[in-house]
Structure 1
Amino acid sequence: MTQFSTAAPRNWFQTLAELRDRRVLTMLLLGFSAGVPLLLIFSSLSLWLREAGIERQAVTFFSWAALGYSFKFVWAPLIDTLPLPWLTRWLGRRRAWLLVSQLTIITAIVLMALIDPASGGDSLTRLALAAVLLGFASATQDIVIDAYRIESAPPRLQALMSSTYIAGYRVAMVTAGAGALMLASAFGSEPEHYRYTAWSLTYLIMAAVMLIGVLTTLSIREPVTQRPPPATHSTRDYLRLVLTFALMASTFVSSFFWSGPLFTALKFALGGGALGAFILETGRLALALSIAALVGWLLVQLGALNRTLARTVWIDPVRDFFTRYGLQTALLLLALIGLYRISDIVLGVIANVFYQDIGFSKPQIATAVKTFGVLISIVGGLLGGLLADRYGVVRLLMLGAILAAATNLIFVLLAQIGADVRLLYLAVGADNLAAGLASAAFVAFLSSLTNVSFTAVQYAIFSSLMTLLPKVLGGYSGRLVEGLGYPGFFVLTTLLGLPVIALVWLAGQRLAIADERGGSLRK
């Protein structure tokens, strides 16, 4: 019997008692560590860039610096496979990688703090590179935390661990969102009076806040799993694996940028519309990924990489997923994963710019969006974890899908009325409550799809797919707004959520049938 079945609900006393479990509480701190970097790439950075005089279209393109979150499945196998010299023996496999990723995050934030985007020259390029490093390191931290969470507790605790993880994540968003805006304002930077030193000090403080994650990593225990011990390979094989990955990554980056002129010409030929540009950019990403995969395959065929190691790292996790669920159900689940967050992610990329454009001040945004909204999302996340544990994950997935689409319509009204503070709080509150409910259920759902033998890789694939399409489309949100206007854009984000409702229903039917036949979502 799976946790998605129609078994009798657990009572509230059992559910509330499990909130005191040490593993559930640990996820609160790790969630905080995971949440700090995100807004330093997205909304806080976007407001910094806008105050520095950077045009809106360039600001939204900076959201692509976080695409590392969407491609983390590419290097997740390395984290599942490679030991770190000395650190792995001292801390264990998961904690060693966690510490390295957190120290890299701190380094990237400090580098961003040392660059003034308004200084001209190549400052924007250097800031973008530092943001990409931050996205890469933060995505790596997410890979390890997700694997740690799944491996450290049984399936029955995953919904509650997901909810406390999200609660910590949201508290970090208050810190890196509202906290960053308040600090920048207190240090003297305003839209009409930009001051670089204010933002620099703010980002340095955010780097210091990440020490909470470092201390947590050093104090928790390494999870004990029943997974079979990994095959032992020579240092030379591991080195070849790293070099192969580096070459594939370089090929992807080179292919993506070298194809730029061709795709720019195609965009011009198609008239430069946002939809056509989005389709072409998606094709451009797919082409670059295909070329990188081809390079990796050729290296294996030429004997540059141990075939057994290559199969274990990149092939076996994918084959296991399709074997356990069958082709049709596996494709349905992947479609649901890839589209579930599309409504709120696409809207979220330009939300802060929208609030500023219709006349809200930075303190108003910080209070309503970064404080009130995040607190509501924490309530929603905890409530979602409790409800998922009691009533089942699929029911919460459906509720979250419906609410995510419906609440976007409130933004249409806000765009038409303008800077009405009460309506702002209504829109932000409804949106974040829906997101909190859905996120807790969705994280537990993804966790239960993994096989403990391939925890980091499979969950990284799922969570990467979850954000890939929404983030690519979100990069064009500025152009979509210019073409549709804010009301039309928010209606579009609502319509994008409608297919998700159908996918949740279909997935629920498929999983119920598998459960009746004695299948298991967690092996």
Structure 2
Amino acid sequence: MKAKDYLKIFTSQKMAVTALLAFSSGFPLPLVSGTLDVWMRSEKIDLATIGLLSLVQIPYSLKVFWAPLMDHFHIPFRHARAGWMLVTQLLLAGSIFALGNLDPKSALWMMVPMALLVSFLGASQDIVIDGYRAEVLKEKERGMGAALASVGGRVGFLVSGSVALVLSQHLPWKTVYAIMACFMGVGVLGSLFSPAPDCAVAPSKTLRESVIEPFQEYLKRDRAVLLLLFVLLFKLGDVVAGKMLSPFLLDTGFTREELGLVNKGFGMVVSIIGGVVGGALYTKWGMRKSLWIFGILQMLSNFVFVAQYYAGKNDWMLFASVGIENFCGSLGSIAFVALLMSLCQTGFAGTQYALLSSLFALTRTVAATPTGYLAEYLGWPVFFTLSAVLAIPGLWMLRNLWGSIGEEKPEHP
């Protein structure tokens, strides 16, 4: 492909809509997690209660259970996914506004179900946006689409997280959440201008078809179980290293302020750049080559923290290690998201993407659990070396799955 072809894809209506919807998808979670935690603590709510409030995020882990309903029932508006997108976004705006109007001191018992509602609607929005993206983007568009989805989601996360906290220094929380509710208009714009997929998605005839057939269809594929294992393993090394990164840097002697500026701020900027570069390279190379090269770079990037350990508290090395890890990790994420999209069948995309992303979330949770014990027992250099080694099984499986990955998905009649 020539440069003008990349530019044509990047500036298309599909890509603009993908970025807008990604912003909307990443936006709600901080409002029921980090931002809400700061609000609670600023109102002198005890730490035990704040910790328990993390349970309101559980719909994001359970969305696979109602995803079939959103594939089955269509709201008549523009195309099969647009109706659900618009409804969830409008309800999110209303529920975020309502959450901001509650007082943590006198109405905490009302805030919990309202925050749970925001999480449920946010997870539901994710189901339909992920399904739409898998259906509307063609093979050559998935790399750039995954890049813009990553960038848009991070910007949404930044606005409802960092920007909201800055505003809270000068405005009442009620006003902050009202402003945040207005930002859901970004997603509404994406829904209103979202082009229909080339293949119209007809609603399934029965609820059984919506619940059972997405899983049956997937499991009938060649080497379906191996593909699921690959989804579980491809980002394993990255997940293990990432969980212990902040404690490692603190142990190395860096301050919390330095972690915030470099690991979070600079790291996010580099990851966005990595997403854009990864999307362009994916568009040029295709899925198989991208998975190989990005996967290897993602694995090798873990060794920079071994170098950081021996360099000690060195600011230049900190920028280098954080930059390399975030850039290479972002490359791997682009290929991974594009892979998930390719594995979803038109008509079942919402359910199948929810299943695959839930499997990855399970890996992220389970694999991260023993990392503290491993780091204490092995020491930092061996721990980060082990995290790189844990990426090898995924690359080995990629070699065995070469014929299955990247095939055109069938269309659901």
Q: TM-score, normalised by structure 1?
A: 0.66
Identify the residue that residue 80 of structure 2 maps to in structure 1.
93
Tell me, yes or no, if the aligned pair for 1:12 and 1:390 is still in contact at 8 Å: no
Q: Of 316, 322, 334, which aligns to 2:219?
A: 322
Secondary structure of the residue aligned to 1:166 is helix
Identify the residue that residue 409 of structure 2 maps to in structure 1.
522
Identify the residue that residue 447 of structure 1 maps to in structure 2.
341
Secondary structure of the residue aligned to 2:229 is helix
Identify the residue that residue 389 of structure 2 maps to in structure 1.
498
Secondary structure of the residue aligned to 1:395 is helix
Is residue 198 of structure 2 the alignment partner of residue 230 of structure 1? no
**Deviation of 1:402 (Å):** 4.2
Is residue 121 of structure 2 the alignment partner of residue 148 of structure 1? no
Deviations 1:5-48 (A, max 9, x none): xxxxx444433432222212221111111121233345445555
Identify the residue that residue 27 of structure 1 maps to in structure 2.
18
Q: Of 250, 275, 286, which aligns to 1:392?
A: 286
Greater Cα offset, 486-495 or 93-102: 486-495
Identify the residue that residue 359 of structure 2 maps to in structure 1.
465
**Deviation of 1:131 (Å):** 3.9
AA matched with 2:255: G
**Deviation of 1:522 (Å):** 1.3
Alignment partners' CA distance in 2, 1:198 and 1:350: 35
Secondary structure of the residue aligned to 2:28 is helix
Kindly tell me: are residues 444 and 51 of structure 1, through their superposed partners in 2, closer, same or farther at Cα, counting changes over 3 Å? same
Kindly tell me: are residues 18 and 69 of structure 1, through their superposed partners in 2, closer, same or farther at Cα, counting changes over 3 Å? same
The runs of 5 or more residues in structure 1 that have no matched partner are 1-9, 188-196, 233-308
Kindly tell me: are residues 402 and 97 of structure 1, through their superposed partners in 2, closer, same or farther at Cα, counting changes over 3 Å? same
Alignment partners' CA distance in 1, 2:44 and 2:188: 35
**Deviation of 1:77 (Å):** 0.8
Alignment partners' CA distance in 2, 1:58 and 1:403: 41
Identify the residue that residue 220 of structure 1 maps to in structure 2.
194
Alignment partners' CA distance in 1, 2:213 and 2:352: 10
Kindly tell me: are residues 365 and 161 of structure 1, through their superposed partners in 2, closer, same or farther at Cα, counting changes over 3 Å? same
Residues 275-354 of structure 1: pairs in structure 2 closer than 5 A: 309-325=206-222, 329-344=223-238
The runs of 5 or more residues in structure 2 that have no matched partner are none
Tell me, yes or no, if the aligned pair for 2:230 and 2:397 is still in contact at 8 Å: no
Tell me, yes or no, if the aligned pair for 1:39 and 1:176 is still in contact at 8 Å: yes
Aligned residues: 408
Tell me, yes or no, if the aligned pair for 1:69 and 1:135 is still in contact at 8 Å: yes
Tell me, yes or no, if the aligned pair for 2:298 and 2:331 is still in contact at 8 Å: no
Tell me, yes or no, if the aligned pair for 2:23 and 2:187 is still in contact at 8 Å: yes
Kindly tell me: are residues 16 and 466 of structure 1, through their superposed partners in 2, closer, same or farther at Cα, counting changes over 3 Å? same
Deviations 1:450-495 (A, max 9, x none): 2213222212211221212313565x58xx6599569958975763
Alignment partners' CA distance in 2, 1:484 and 1:52: 36
Kindly tell me: are residues 418 and 391 of structure 1, through their superposed partners in 2, closer, same or farther at Cα, counting changes over 3 Å? same
Tell me, yes or no, if the aligned pair for 1:143 and 1:456 is still in contact at 8 Å: yes
Kindly tell me: are residues 171 and 521 of structure 1, through their superposed partners in 2, closer, same or farther at Cα, counting changes over 3 Å? same
What root-mean-square deviation, in Å, do the aligned CA atoms of Structure 1 and Structure 2 show? 3.9
Identify the residue that residue 158 of structure 2 maps to in structure 1.
174
Max Rg structure: 1
**Deviation of 1:405 (Å):** 4.8
Tell me, yes or no, if the aligned pair for 1:405 and 1:493 is still in contact at 8 Å: no
AA matched with 1:359: T
